Structure 1
């Protein structure tokens, strides 16, 4: 069985799990070990900057652009890896930290400045400008700083030009589909009367220009076994998510492993930029790895990982809208799907809100597979440990249950395949996905990650 498709039980012996989590979380906070690369990665991939761009696929594109600019700026100063864009050589005395700061600053301004005025835009730009000023204040004035800034600006301008007309400005397209068994329908919103529905989103993202893939459909997956709604695979997938992802079931067991896993992954485990930073910041958790990476190596790792995630998101939406397979929240509430082994429940709701696009394949597990594969290839092993505590937001629940309050949730892993296996579980326990689409999402992400690693930013010597 493929490693990423293994089922990972949530009944890990509690003392063993606590010992593992304690060991992994004993590291000094990541910021204390931060370099210019990881500090700016934090700024780009967290609030208040990241939310300005939209959801995960939009943020993945921005992360990829920023990290490519950083990588290319450094390699224009001292060429070690093939650059993404064709750039002139920078001055040999150019300061690397100035180049990193300027690359991020220029990319982010280039993407945010055209946006309409808003409080979010102002907060993001204030944070970016403050970080830029702090970075340059720490560098002595002179030619080295000036040349570093020039290198960063040149790299940023190149990636901004390359992505100027990539299709990202039309993420949503008019959606039309028959009201039929197995076909995705607009996602209902809990506790609305009359019933409200969210307009399907991101179909256009599957048509966006890839960064590295040869085409949007290069890694489109074949139809799933669960597409036969009268078959055994569908029956198994249906009954599992109906039982384990039910909002009332999970809400009645708020501190169960299943509920915690469902809540940890969106914004927590799925924040793979944070995962990368945590791994680099805690070398004692992975003594078998050489984690003493210089700026060039860090820049390459983050650029490869974010290129993979962004292209994987394109592959996801290409696949989702090629098949338009329905979500559990629609399937389980459907009166009669023709399968006597799938009893409907008109009042069923997913534990976590169902995203407004088709089920197959899963985007969260796809992103996880892409990052995990880049990490495997970069370090040459699947045995990479990581873990942290995520402050999970509150969860609204259907009556008669009250909303679950926000809570800190800690998860820890000893390998990448264990983590991606739990990502699969998380979407089933969250109630928004059938398991097969989640398993296939990991595999698709791994395929994209492998391709990106093999074809982009290769060593020059």
Structure 2
């Protein structure tokens, strides 16, 4: 757990050195980098606890909304999400605004909410303790620290109470996915042969969109491996041939966007798992990169995380609704059964139906929101995968990055092309709806 303290150590040292020069070091305590570091610590716990991509999106959305709602009551022009998100009634304003350090309270709200939604609570408690130490070392008066902590905790409680009504608990005991013998339907894939993840995710309350099936796409091509002229046969052939001729660049793209939270590795008779950031977590990290690149202040940084997280949440709901409606077989299963028993995709196939591509939906939704916030041509270097041993990649825009993320699933051999193309359409529709309906920035 020591590493969680180390994140804040440089800031603590800077603050301690500055206390003799001025009573309160707001430059450190109100740094947007501090907020991004705290979100990164939440991501580290999400990875550690191996949350699935849809569940991870739920953790991000409620945590970042809690932080944002504090800022919305700071009098800086940001508007509350109450009445804009389904089921979210008025959130509390502080009894005495002058007694609140709003950035510090937002950090407390974010981390307190996150702590309640993960397994390794001790890791987030250590983050909370470090933030409180930072506030004290920054010279924030005791009465302001106490009032700000209380307000952040109050906001976290309100958001967590709202969170409990999203039907998540009910889906924990829902009917499990049943494998059928019908041709063309999804079945578990090697090497873990895991059961389908979150088959009832379309029952989770949406954030902005009206329903899980608001943005339905055309059904995938009908399963047909007997006719070489059929669309299904052709799209299978594309993936098979591509997998046999991947370039080093295509492999690098597939690896960069893999974002598999649980990969089972086999070495002889030994198996072991490796953990990675989820696709939603990757885009949450890009939020911090974008905010730093654009020199966004604390409040806009908080707004960025919340707005993208809302798009992520609705994108996963829409995508999972289609996945378990179309229930389409994965390329690996088709190719192994009909053509080549030894063929393996470059990436490990994730445990849920194929259509549409989750990466395509959530990446495009996120990129659409980020484009609205920072413009269509903000170039950035994405270092999100450095923690997992992969080099950074440069992109001329958010939409260029989202397009590469979508196409990476073709290179990885885990999606057919229609899942990618229609997933992009779904993601754009979700992102545009979030941009249209949410009134957040001044």
| Smaller-chain TM-score bracket | 0.7 to 0.9
Q: CA deviation at 1:132?
A: 4.5
Q: Distance in 1 between matches of 2:379 and 2:418?
A: 26
More divergent stretch after superposition (383-392 vs 176-185): 383-392
Gap change, CA 1:155 and 1:226, over 3 Å in 2: farther
Q: In the alignment, what sits opposite 1:192?
A: none
Q: In the alignment, what sits opposite 2:427?
A: 445
**Which consecutive unaligned segments of at least 5 residues does structure 1 have?**
1-32, 190-195, 283-290, 336-343, 394-405
Which of 309, 314, 334 pairs up with 2:312?
Answer: 309
Matches of residues 35-114 of structure 1 in structure 2 within 5 Å? 35-44=33-42, 46-52=43-49, 54-78=51-75, 80-85=77-82, 86-90=90-94, 91-93=96-98, 94-112=100-118
Matched, 1:432 2:411: no
Matches of residues 319-330 of structure 1 in structure 2 within 5 Å? 319-330=322-333
- Asked if structure 2 preserves the Cα contact closer than 8 Å seen for 1:224 and 1:437, the reply is yes
Matched, 1:279 2:290: yes
- Asked if structure 1 preserves the Cα contact closer than 8 Å seen for 2:364 and 2:427, the reply is yes
Q: Distance in 1 between matches of 2:136 and 2:213?
A: 43
Gap change, CA 1:158 and 1:183, over 3 Å in 2: same
Matches of residues 53-202 of structure 1 in structure 2 within 5 Å? 54-78=51-75, 80-85=77-82, 86-90=90-94, 91-93=96-98, 94-112=100-118, 115=119, 120-169=120-169, 170=171, 173-189=175-191, 197-202=193-198
Q: In the alignment, what sits opposite 2:209?
A: 213
- Asked if structure 1 preserves the Cα contact closer than 8 Å seen for 2:36 and 2:288, the reply is yes
Matches of residues 311-350 of structure 1 in structure 2 within 5 Å? 311-335=314-338, 344-350=339-345
Q: Distance in 2 between matches of 1:428 and 1:139?
A: 53
- Asked if structure 2 preserves the Cα contact closer than 8 Å seen for 1:245 and 1:431, the reply is yes
- Asked if structure 1 preserves the Cα contact closer than 8 Å seen for 2:220 and 2:326, the reply is no
Matches of residues 221-300 of structure 1 in structure 2 within 5 Å? 221-225=217-221, 230=227, 232-245=230-243, 256-267=248-259, 270=279, 271-282=282-293, 291-300=294-303
Q: CA deviation at 1:127?
A: 4.0
Partner of 1:47, secondary structure, is helix
Partner of 1:35, secondary structure, is helix
Partner of 1:310, secondary structure, is helix
1:363-383 per-residue CA deviation (whole Å, 9 max, x = no partner) reads 11211111101012223x322
| Number of residue equivalences | 381
